[in-house]
Amino acid sequence: MTPTMRAWSVAIPGPIDTEPLVLGERDIPVPGPDQLRLRVVACGVCRTDLHVVEGDLAPHRVNVVPGHEIVGVVDELGSGSSLFERGERVGAAWLARTCGSCRFCLAHQENLCLKPTFTGWDVDGGYATFVIVDQDYVYHLPDVFDDVAAAPLLCAGIIGFRALRRTELPEGGRLGIYGFGGSAHLTAQIAIAEGARVHVMTRSPESRRLALTLGASSVGDTNDSPPELLDGAILFAPVGDIVPVALASLDRGGVLAVAGIYLTDIPALNYERHLFQERTLRSVTANTRQDGQEFLDIATRIGITTTVHTYPFSQAPHALSDLANDRITGAAVLIGFDS
């Protein structure tokens, strides 16, 4: 009899309360050349998972298994795999593979690869007992982070770090953060450690309290103006209506980076109010492996802390529902994959 595993998959994308996630049994996958099979021990619940499940992102794979903040133990090696050993704890993230030969990959911009593959969208992800990953896109995990703490670092942390760098925030600069969930609460800690004054605008009172605990200089509601003009800002909430609000809070030459993969429509902008005086609106597209390694190095050095709510593997839909309805402060992580 072929051994099987449990996996959540997206049957028909739709609102989370319509039960688009289905729990079933699948054959345990076999790693191919240069691949690893991981026994999943923890998997972060990311807003991108919600976009995949609800269909905000067009399906790339029928019955895909979501999840791309994966902490796992190497269970089996494919032929030619030599970078990791059985029993080693590793992390797998959103970027699953790139072509390595397009003009962007050759220019060290693999986040813009013309033929990328993403975990939990193009290939099955971590909402399962086992997952197959490419060894070249796997991270060694610092021992200072346990499994639960490490999971959100693998996307929320990495993409927030790239968004922070996209703002080109000057030393000692003034940073605005719009929305304060799994990614933002990690990004804020890096900015503060690097000397920035951070102002957080979010509709959640619990998230505002967390921001102050982590060292934010001020907090307010989403549409509030920060107490000073900003050198840079990051929009984490997937709400296009916030874009003109954030742009209007920028000082001359300021940059707004939109961190999410999905955003509702942006309303009309007024050139003089929102963009003139060299204010800049930038998107953030995936990340490079270098981004991931740099972030993990910095997170280790500053002792970054993750505020985490855990859910048993069997409650994956409940975790996504809580995320959709803003009932989570910080990040969410699935555990108990063997139970």
Spell out the long-range contacts of 220-228 with Cβ–Cβ below 8 A and sequence spacing 24 or more.
222/178, 222/179, 225/249, 226/174, 226/176, 226/199, 226/201, 227/199, 228/174, 228/197, 228/199
Q: Position 52: which residue type?
A: V
Percent of the chain with pLDDT over 70: 99
Give the pairing of strands 174-178 and 138-140. unpaired
Average pLDDT over residues 58-75: 97
Structural domains of the chain, ranges and CATH numbers in brackets: 4-152+307-335 (3.90.180.10), 158-283 (3.40.50.720)
For 239-251, what is each residue's pLDDT tens digit?
Answer: 999 999 999 999 9
Average pLDDT over residues 283-292: 98
Rounded to whole angstroms, the Cα distance separating 4 from 338 reads 13
The pLDDT of residue 2 is above 80: no
Tokens of 289: 């492996």
For 165-194, what is each residue's pLDDT tens digit?
Answer: 999 999 999 999 999 999 999 999 999 999
